[in-house]
Structure formats: C-alpha cells, structure tokens
Amino acid sequence: MTQQNSSHIVDSSIASVTVFQDRAEVIRVAQMDLEKGEHVLIFDQLPASIEDKSIQVSGAGIPTILNQIKFSTEHYEESPDEIIQSVQAQRTQLNEQRRVLKDNIKRLKGQQKFLQGMVQRVTRPTKGQKVTKTQAWFKMLEFYQQKQVAIDEQLHEATLEINRNHQALQKANAEYKKFLGQRHKTRRQVAVNVTAEQSGTVELSLSYIVYGASWEPYYDFRVFTDTEELEMTYQALIRQNTEESWDEVALKLSTAKPQVGGRQPDLKPWRIQQYIPPSPKAKPGKVMKKSKGGFNRKSKSAKYDDPEYSAALMVGGALPGKPTTGEQLEGELGIIEEEKERGITIPSSSYDANTIDQFLVQDELRKQEELRTEIDNKPQAMDRSTSKVQTGGTAVFFEIEGQHTVKNDGTDQQVTILKNRFKAQLQYSATPKLSAYTYLRAKTTNDTEYPLLAGSTNVFLDNNFVANASIDTIAATESFWTFLGIDEGVRVERKFLKKYEKKEGNVFSKKHKNQVYEYSIEVKNFKPKAIDLVLKDQLPIAQNDEIKVQLIAPTYTQDTEELKINKFKYIEWSYKLDSGKDLSIPLTFSITHPHEYWLSGME
C-alpha cells in the first residue's frame, strides 16, 4: 500500500548537545513507522533563535529518500512553552490556596471574637440575668480554655501556611516574569519531505545551531605535601537560555571557536601619500590673477619638489603656511585629475587649498573604510570537526560521561571533565628585596591528552583552602606552576650591611667615584624536611656608558645550576636546604661613574 503526501508532526526529543563558547549544536531524534510513499514530517515548536543555515537532517532505518527541507516560523495566540504553562498553573494554584487560607484565618478570628463575647456576657451579667453559680463558672473556664487553645493553634498553623504560600508565590511570580521575558509567541518548524521506498521504521536526526549557550572551565587544585602530588579536578560550568531545556542528554564540550571563522583575513595594499597641509586663505577683497589662457601651468609636481613639503606624509607633519598661488592651485588640481583617472567621483565646485586638502583626507579615510568593510563582510564559514575522538584536527571535544540535564534558565550546571593526579615538584621561592615572605609553589607536567584551558582555580594545600587563582591555557605535555601561598616555616631576610665610597683618578684622567654596596640574605629552614629553595635579587642596570656596574660577590662567570643571571641582571640562587639549617648569602656590587654625576634610581 502506498500513501501519498502524508503530513504529521513527529514526536522528537533532544539526544545530544555540543556546547561551544557562545552557541550550541543540538541534535533531535524522532522515530516513526512509515508506509511506503511520500511523507512530510514536521519538527514543531523549535527555538526561535535557530541559525537557519545550520539545519541538517539525516536518517536511518528503511530505505528513504530525502526530498526537501523547509524551515518556517509559526505564530501562536498562546505561548506553547510548557515551562510557562506549568509556572502559570502553579501561580493559579497558589493564589487559590492563598484565598482559602485567608478565609480560614478570618473564620478563626471570628470564632475567637465570639468566644470572648461569651465570656464578657458571663462575667458581666445584664439586668434581669441570673447570677452564674460557681460550678458553672469552672465549666465555662474549662470550655473557654479548650476552645481558645484550639483556635490559637489553628491560627498559628494558618499563619505559617500563608507565609509559606507567600514565599512560593513570590518565587513563582519571579520565574514567570523571567521566562515570559525570554519567550515569544513564535516557534520554528522544520518540515522534512521524504519518500519511503517500503513500509517500516525510520529514525530522523535533526541538527541545528542555537545561540544563548556557553561553557567555561574551572579547576580544583589540591596539593599534598606528604606525597608531593597534585590532584586536579577539571570541571566545566554550562549555562544556556536557548528556549528549550536539555533533559537527560549526552553532552560534548568543544574548544572550537566558530565565531572567529575558519579562514584568516587577507592583507590588502597599504597605501600612503603626501599630506598637503592647509594654506592660509586669501585676504578678503584680494582676487587671484589669471594669465592669458588660464593658469600658468607648470609641472604638477613643482610644489612637491619643495623639501619642506616632501617631508610631510599622511602620518602627519606640521608645515608653515604658504600663500595660495595659481601655480600652487594648478598643482593641486593636477592631483584631482589623477583621482578622476582612478575612478573617483569629484563634485564640481570651485577649489582652493583648503577644499583640496579636505578632499585628500576624506579620500584616505574612504580607502581605509573600504578596506575594513571588505574584511568585515568576507563570508566566514563555520568549521565543524567530524571526528568522534576527543582530539580533532583543529579543536578538542570533551565527551562528558552519562546523561545530563541543563535547564534553560541561565543557571550554572556543573560537570566534570577529568580528575587526575600528577607528580608535583614542590619549591620554595623568595624575593627578599620585595617581600619578607617565602612562597610555596608546585611544578607539574600535564601528562594527559587534555589541554587545560584558561580559567579560574580553587587552590588547596593539604585540603586547606589557600587562594583563588587562574591559569593560562596549558597544552598536553606542557609544564606549569601552581602557587600555593606563603609558608612561614621558611624565614628569609635581606640585610643592608654598608655602603662606602672611594674616589679614583689622577690629573691625566677623568676623576671617577666608586660606590660599593654590601648586602646579606639570611635564610633559615624550620620545616621538618629538606626543601628546594630559589632566591631572587637583582643588580642595577646602567643607562649610560660612563656608568659601570660590577658584581663583586658572589663570584659569577657563567650560569650554573646554583647561580644564574639573565639579561635584565636578575640574580637567581638555587639551593637544597636541610631541615633546621641556616644560609647566609653575600651580595656585593660596585657602581663607578664620573665624579660630577648624580645617580637616580638607587635605594
């Protein structure tokens, strides 16, 4: 049996989502039984923010021919969004509950007032009313107490209930307002025209790009000093406002940046030209003379042969004004003729030096704007990796284990990408010239296949929180440092010992002054075990050839494992310091300069 032009809305669900930095690729799956023939299968109530050109359809199952895909927008009198409908129903229910509670409180307060009225009538008998006997009094008191206690308990419970109702209603109203602002009474539809070559089951997959989704990495770094290991928990925060909830879906996180485009921009010729500064205007009443046959036209480059003018380029140059002459104007008009030859339209008007100068500046701005526009309007294709592996040719995909739910309310959903332990090299570092503290840090090598993207970190030392920090992007096999804060178990101090001067020179040579500075760096290890210690200091750098700086102590000829000096004259010592040991490091240098010099920048 063959069925022609059967059209119906399919029941689809989101199977997987790949999240990029500013968008997401959603894959919906629908399974249905088809008769042989042509069918129009409609994916309904899709987000309004779908990127039209990103829609793709694929199928599996019985042999099926994909004929056409049609993308359209549907408008609704009422919002079809199930979330809004659910919140609205909740608000209606809470408002009804509030009305019932208020009525109940009103009745209880009426009973309370009636009971108090009865007591007043008993205790204050009216004229002609019999006096109540003592036994009746006690019965009345017992009745009053029982009723009053019961009413008080009911009033208390009703008051608590109405407070809970008020809080729930406030929350529901806030959610309704938030979702109502995000939702529109429009939805997208994708109609897929297929031809089934035989009856049977077919599975259609609809994929599309939708905006309003993002993810960012963050880390927990836990350093353990006893085992010298770093435990890393690599996590991601996913958030989305894509007008549809992702319920129990497979998640992938991508490092690709489709917003950048897959093709690098092309360079264009960078042109500069001579800048013609404005000349002073002619005085009022003064008319420019013209020779027979018009202006006396010499070489149009005559003005540019003036070295004062040829020194001024478009990048700027202030020149003294020159009087406007027929020869000068002729040269400037020659430039305009050249511009005409290049296809530039010039409005007909009278020109003086100022209008020509304005034209040249505007022309340069126009060319720069054309260059920017051409680059900006260049079509940018979206790169997509078809690889299923975690590391692709141009990007990395993190496949998150299990099924996950990410609501479309902008809240963060946390998922774990990786948890791993690394060997860590603990090192103590100090710059006593700048700080009296010793800082602990750990060096680790990323020996996983995962790149560690730039993000924020929570740092723990022996399970004690140390600091919030951040890391730059770290590639696989790359080493990085994690800073763990100060450790007062290692004490360091930089002491200034003395400074002395010595004059040198004779009558045949220029007199010089020699200043010697002596310091001492003192270290003590109070830790229960040996530590690796790096100390840093520096020498001054002379900005004049007649100023000489010489290191006296420590003795240095070339870099070693223990002592290094770089081009900025930073000194670095490396030591293995045993527990309870002291260390004293001398730092002495001299500065030689002409006697009449006064130095700036010294301590």
Please report the pLDDT score of residue 242 as a whole number.
86
Please report the pLDDT score of residue 422 as a whole number.
95
Joined together, the tokens standing for residue 582 give: 């002291």
Please report the pLDDT score of residue 93 as a whole number.
86
Residues 495 and 566 in one domain: yes
Cα(277)–Cα(274) distance, integer angstroms = 9
> For 442-497, what is each residue's pLDDT tens digit?
999 999 989 999 999 999 999 999 888 889 999 999 999 988 889 999 999 999 99
Identify the three-state secondary structure at position 230: strand
Position with higher pLDDT, 136 vs 293: 136
Residues 424 and 471 in one domain: yes
Please report the pLDDT score of residue 313 as a whole number.
32
Residues 57 and 190 in one domain: yes
Please report the pLDDT score of residue 567 as a whole number.
93
Q: How far is CA 397 from the centre of its chain?
A: 19
The last residue of one of the domains, among 360, 388, 416, is 388
Position with higher pLDDT, 63 vs 492: 492
Q: Does position 332 have pLDDT exceeding 80, yes or no?
A: no
Residues 404 and 380 in one domain: no
Residues 168 and 99 in one domain: yes
- AA identity, residue 366: R
Q: Does position 347 have pLDDT exceeding 70, yes or no?
A: no
Please indicate, yes or no, if residue 582 is contained in any of the structural domains: yes
Residues 246/17, Cβ–Cβ less than 8 Å: yes
In the beta sheet, which residues pair with residue 305?
A: none
Percentage of residues of the chain with pLDDT beyond 70:
70
Please report the pLDDT score of residue 147 as a whole number.
81
Q: Given the DSSP bridges, would you call strands 413-430 and 229-240 parallel, antiparallel or unpaired?
A: antiparallel
The pair phi, psi for residue 271, each rounded to 5°, is -105, 140
Q: Given the DSSP bridges, would you call strands 570-577 and 563-565 parallel, antiparallel or unpaired?
A: antiparallel
Please report the pLDDT score of residue 82 as a whole number.
62
Q: Which residues contact 317 (CB under 8 A, 6 or more apart)?
A: 275, 277, 311
Position with higher pLDDT, 451 vs 73: 451
User: Domain containing 323: what range?
Assistant: 273-388
Cα(457)–Cα(411) distance, integer angstroms = 20
Position with higher pLDDT, 573 vs 161: 573
Position with higher pLDDT, 257 vs 194: 194
Position with higher pLDDT, 97 vs 285: 97
Please report the pLDDT score of residue 561 as a whole number.
94
Residues 194 and 76 in one domain: yes
Q: Does position 11 have pLDDT exceeding 70, yes or no?
A: yes
Residues 36 and 140 in one domain: no
Helices (H), 81-212: 82-123, 134-182
Please report the pLDDT score of residue 368 as a whole number.
58
Please indicate, yes or no, if residue 199 is contained in any of the structural domains: yes
The pair phi, psi for residue 403, each rounded to 5°, is -105, 145
Q: Given the DSSP bridges, would you call strands 213-224 and 455-461 parallel, antiparallel or unpaired?
A: parallel
Please report the pLDDT score of residue 299 as a whole number.
40
3-state helix, strand, coil in the chain (%, to 5): 25, 40, 35
The last residue of one of the domains, among 442, 469, 486, is 486
Residues 242/47, Cβ–Cβ less than 8 Å: yes
Band of pLDDT at residue 366, cut at 50, 70 and 90: low
Cα(164)–Cα(98) distance, integer angstroms = 10
Residues 35 and 128 in one domain: no
Q: Does position 371 have pLDDT exceeding 60, yes or no?
A: no
Cα(467)–Cα(460) distance, integer angstroms = 7
Cα(439)–Cα(428) distance, integer angstroms = 6
Angle, alpha carbons 436-530-522 (nearest 5°): 30
Please indicate, yes or no, if residue 280 is contained in any of the structural domains: yes
Write down the pTM of the prediction. Answer: 0.57
Please indicate, yes or no, if residue 133 is contained in any of the structural domains: yes
Please report the pLDDT score of residue 584 as a whole number.
96
Residues 525 and 563 in one domain: yes
Position with higher pLDDT, 92 vs 274: 92
Please indicate, yes or no, if residue 51 is contained in any of the structural domains: yes
Residues 77 and 188 in one domain: yes
Please indicate, yes or no, if residue 601 is contained in any of the structural domains: no
Question: Mean per-residue pLDDT for 381-406?
Answer: 63
The last residue of one of the domains, among 459, 486, 513, is 486
Q: Which residues contact 54 (CB under 8 A, 6 or more apart)?
A: 25, 207, 208, 209, 382
Please report the pLDDT score of residue 362 as a whole number.
61
> For 568-591, what is each residue's pLDDT tens digit?
999 999 999 999 999 999 999 999
Cis previous bond, 63, omega within 30? no
Q: Does position 349 have pLDDT exceeding 50, yes or no?
A: no
Q: Does position 226 have pLDDT exceeding 80, yes or no?
A: yes
Q: Length of the chain, please?
A: 603
> For 99-149, what is each residue's pLDDT tens digit?
888 888 888 888 878 877 776 666 665 555 555 566 666 677 777 777 888
Between 283-287, 380-384, 593-597, the lowest mean confidence (pLDDT) is in 380-384
Q: Which residues contact 197 (CB under 8 A, 6 or more apart)?
A: 36, 62, 63, 64, 65
Residues 166 and 146 in one domain: yes
Total domains in the chain come to 5
Q: Which residues contact 467 (CB under 8 A, 6 or more apart)?
A: 459, 483, 484, 485
Segment of 7-11, 185-189, 369-373, 547-551 carrying the highest mean pLDDT: 547-551
The pair phi, psi for residue 237, each rounded to 5°, is -105, 120
DSSP 36-71: EEEEEEEEEEE-TTB-GGG-EEEEEES-EEEEEEEE
In the beta sheet, which residues pair with residue 422?
A: 230
- CATH number where 144 lies: 1.10.287
Per-chain mean pLDDT for the chain: 77
Question: Mean per-residue pLDDT for 559-568?
Answer: 95
Please report the pLDDT score of residue 48 as a whole number.
81
Band of pLDDT at residue 89, cut at 50, 70 and 90: confident
Please indicate, yes or no, if residue 266 is contained in any of the structural domains: no
Band of pLDDT at residue 269, cut at 50, 70 and 90: confident
Q: Does position 236 have pLDDT exceeding 90, yes or no?
A: yes
Q: Does position 423 have pLDDT exceeding 90, yes or no?
A: yes
Residues 372 and 521 in one domain: no
Please indicate, yes or no, if residue 602 is contained in any of the structural domains: no
Residues 331/293, Cβ–Cβ less than 8 Å: no
* Nearest CA-CA partner of 542 in 500, 587, 593, 588: 593
Q: Does position 507 have pLDDT exceeding 50, yes or no?
A: no
DSSP state of 265: P
Band of pLDDT at residue 331, cut at 50, 70 and 90: very low
